Structure 1
């Protein structure tokens, strides 16, 4: 299961962010400013965010496994077709459709894991999933960046899509079958029939006792009324755990972290290619894409985030991860290329640790029947932050420069940390 989910994450996030290292080439080809070019990322992530909740609902009806499989296959096929777009407007339309397809994995995977492994092992499983996601994001960006030199941006996107399709097919073959919505309802009905059979047997015994006693009929009627009252009490007890279960105020903190931290993270990486390609650094697309090697730090930190949260507690661990992200982003303001690279490594490690802790927080604290909805809301916040924050960050960089971009993104990260602390006190 771990390999299948990791392959799905690798495919999805390689496709989602493959255009990021070639944004300067897209801007040159279509005569765009950095903010307009960044829509190649922003449109896909925004459409993903909009589609997350409907697809999370659909997964509850047709089954989470089925939605994940359609997600990875359709998104890979669209990736192969992207270079054929006749204009940038058509390119953005196709990216929007691709974002909707990727939402099937992004919004359902955490709930699928919760169904498969249970809450006790959930933090580690989600950490492993996010580690696979970060590997996909890193390899997709690196592959596109290195292929852009000899193949152009068209060929680079085709190369990433081809690898993603192989990963999608691997997932289709190896992903374990989970309960579909129909199977779940069937199991519940079977359990209801079992309880009904037990009650029927109890009534049969009650009838035999009634025939042996003078007031047996009255007692049987009393038992019947008692059974109805007991069933009523069971219905009242079960109702709060149904599909209408509330997510609770405690989930505001991870939702805020998902939106604000992801917005800051994507804003920095969207603008990174423009900064590294511009004087005085003037790197080639392949050399500039090496900054995405920092995702290896995210892979390690997200896998270790569950252990950190277990040792320190969720709130201290999450605030510490956000603080590390702020420190890393501040380091990127230095003019030296090695210090810039160090800054990206630090901020990436901090961000992915925060993301893993917040994601596990949502799925662990949500009522079991509402886990899919909670995961969908988190993913909605996460990718709305990515779309809006990433585009706004590129605009700020294009008009005011890197320093003001750091000021803005650091403010978002500190606001996320403050929300976590206020939620804890409440």
Structure 2
């Protein structure tokens, strides 16, 4: 039936007919989801701690809002491209080894970035971190698809994304608080130390793969995997969904600090960082909606998350602080729920080409973060917050239409 996951096939690097999945009630499942949670936390703390610091960077280095966003956009741009390679390397060198190396090198590079006094060099270092971080996100999705029993994959992916939400919140919160009492250098050192802790936990907890079979590095085979996934119309729409939803979400958090620091709110840097506490809703949403999608069908739930993200964006147009913060909470809840469902859908749909499908999904995900994140700064400079909201509203409306199309297609009777 259209919209249903592709059947599993025995293939190199994928589960074979005799594969043994990690069951939901097993100790290995608890270790796996704890490790995935820790890795999501570390990855997103390292990646997104710069968001509340963008106004600080603009002032310290004398750059525009759009230029300050390069501290994130440069990272996500290289991350998007590098994941296409990382997914293929993981088929040869192993999922676990690549993910551990990714976390350790990214934490080390974050600590080293405090040594760079020039804006261009700092941006270059953050861009390089996009390459080092690439070894984890796409491979984590492939690990879930290969190792976790199908009926529990949505929950496992939701908990991984929940860790991502907590890491995004914790990184922003800690960076904002420390920068308010010290400077961005101290904030960066603290986040780098957290990255090392997360890497150690991940290394200790993640069960060894049961179903992964390494294969020689073959460019032709990798390209065939990419081509096979791109030929699937459902996967293409899911990839587009990643670009639209993530682009709008990141742009809001890139520039909400400028809105809250300025009149009529006039908040301090520390309080702006505290606003990231609304990420707690995303932690719940990713696990709850991910599990709901696995039980009821991805197509029956994803559109609701997109609609919530659009509604939350509309609420941020208010001059009431309660409405703006509430809008951020609704937007965050909707985004993480929709992302959890969308990513699990990709992992199940892709069959034997999971690593390449995950890489394509996350390529679009981070390409949206980079492109829309930067373009949002231009929209903010030209039209203030309403101008930015208008741009993002168009993207989310397209995402809602896409989700409804997928729901109708998946619900249509097979011919």
Same fold (TM > 0.5): yes
1:264 aligns with 2:295: no
Instruction: Please tell me whether the aligned partners of residues 328 and 346 of structure 1 are also in contact (alpha carbons under 8 angstroms).
Output: yes
Shift of 1:362: 0.3
Instruction: Please tell me whether the aligned partners of residues 251 and 373 of structure 2 are also in contact (alpha carbons under 8 angstroms).
Output: yes
Partner of 1:317: 301
Deviation string, structure 1 residues 353-388 (Cα, Å, up to 9, x no partner)? 010010011001112x20011001000000000011
2: CA distance, partners of 1:163 / 1:184 = 31
Partner of 2:370: 387
Instruction: Please tell me whether the aligned partners of residues 226 and 360 of structure 2 are also in contact (alpha carbons under 8 angstroms).
Output: no
1:136 aligns with 2:167: yes
1:178 aligns with 2:209: yes
Partner of 2:55: 24
1:289 aligns with 2:273: yes
Partner of 2:398: 415
1: CA distance, partners of 2:107 / 2:384 = 35
1: CA distance, partners of 2:356 / 2:291 = 26
Distance 1:244 1:280, change over 3 A: closer
Distance 1:161 1:322, change over 3 A: same
Deviation string, structure 1 residues 276-300 (Cα, Å, up to 9, x no partner)? 1112211111001122111101001
2: CA distance, partners of 1:385 / 1:245 = 21
2: CA distance, partners of 1:329 / 1:401 = 14
SS in 1 for 2:228: coil
Which of 334, 337, 341 is the matching residue for 1:350? 334
Deviation string, structure 1 residues 57-87 (Cα, Å, up to 9, x no partner)? 0000000111100110000001101111121
Instruction: Please tell me whether the aligned partners of residues 256 and 381 of structure 1 are also in contact (alpha carbons under 8 angstroms).
Output: yes
Instruction: Please tell me whether the aligned partners of residues 362 and 378 of structure 1 are also in contact (alpha carbons under 8 angstroms).
Output: yes
Shift of 1:97: 1.0
1: CA distance, partners of 2:406 / 2:211 = 35
Instruction: Please tell me whether the aligned partners of residues 313 and 389 of structure 2 are also in contact (alpha carbons under 8 angstroms).
Output: yes
Shift of 1:50: 0.6
Partner of 2:228: 246
Shift of 1:243: 5.0
Partner of 1:167: 198
2: CA distance, partners of 1:307 / 1:143 = 30
SS in 1 for 2:263: coil
Instruction: Please tell me whether the aligned partners of residues 94 and 214 of structure 2 are also in contact (alpha carbons under 8 angstroms).
Output: no
Shift of 1:310: 4.1
Let me know the Cα RMSD of the aligned residues: 1.8
1:396 aligns with 2:364: no
TM-score (norm 2): 0.86
Instruction: Please tell me whether the aligned partners of residues 44 and 167 of structure 2 are also in contact (alpha carbons under 8 angstroms).
Output: yes
Partner of 2:290: 306
Partner of 1:236: none
Shift of 1:312: 4.6
Deviation string, structure 1 residues 102-138 (Cα, Å, up to 9, x no partner)? 1111111011122221322211110111001111111
Instruction: Please tell me whether the aligned partners of residues 79 and 157 of structure 1 are also in contact (alpha carbons under 8 angstroms).
Output: yes
Shift of 1:421: 3.0
1: CA distance, partners of 2:348 / 2:210 = 19
SS in 1 for 2:259: helix
Deviation string, structure 1 residues 15-63 (Cα, Å, up to 9, x no partner)? 0001111110100011111101011010011110010110000000000
Instruction: Please tell me whether the aligned partners of residues 145 and 288 of structure 1 are also in contact (alpha carbons under 8 angstroms).
Output: yes
Deviation string, structure 1 residues 232-257 (Cα, Å, up to 9, x no partner)? xxxxxxx9xx9588221111222111
Instruction: Please tell me whether the aligned partners of residues 397 and 404 of structure 1 are also in contact (alpha carbons under 8 angstroms).
Output: yes
| Larger Rg computed on CA atoms | 1
SS in 2 for 1:108: helix
Unaligned regions of 5+ residues in structure 2, if any? Answer: 1-31, 410-415
Partner of 2:357: 374
Distance 1:361 1:414, change over 3 A: same
TM-score (norm 1): 0.84
Deviation string, structure 1 residues 84-104 (Cα, Å, up to 9, x no partner)? 112111101110111111111
Distance 1:118 1:184, change over 3 A: farther
Partner of 1:115: 146
Deviation string, structure 1 residues 324-371 (Cα, Å, up to 9, x no partner)? 11111100110011111100000000000010010011001112x200
1: CA distance, partners of 2:184 / 2:226 = 47
Poorly superposed stretches of 4+, deviation over 4 Å:
183-186, 242-245, 423-426
SS in 1 for 2:265: coil
Partner of 2:137: 106
Distance 1:70 1:179, change over 3 A: farther
Deviation string, structure 1 residues 380-411 (Cα, Å, up to 9, x no partner)? 00000001111111221122111121111111
Equivalenced residue count is 370
SS in 1 for 2:163: helix
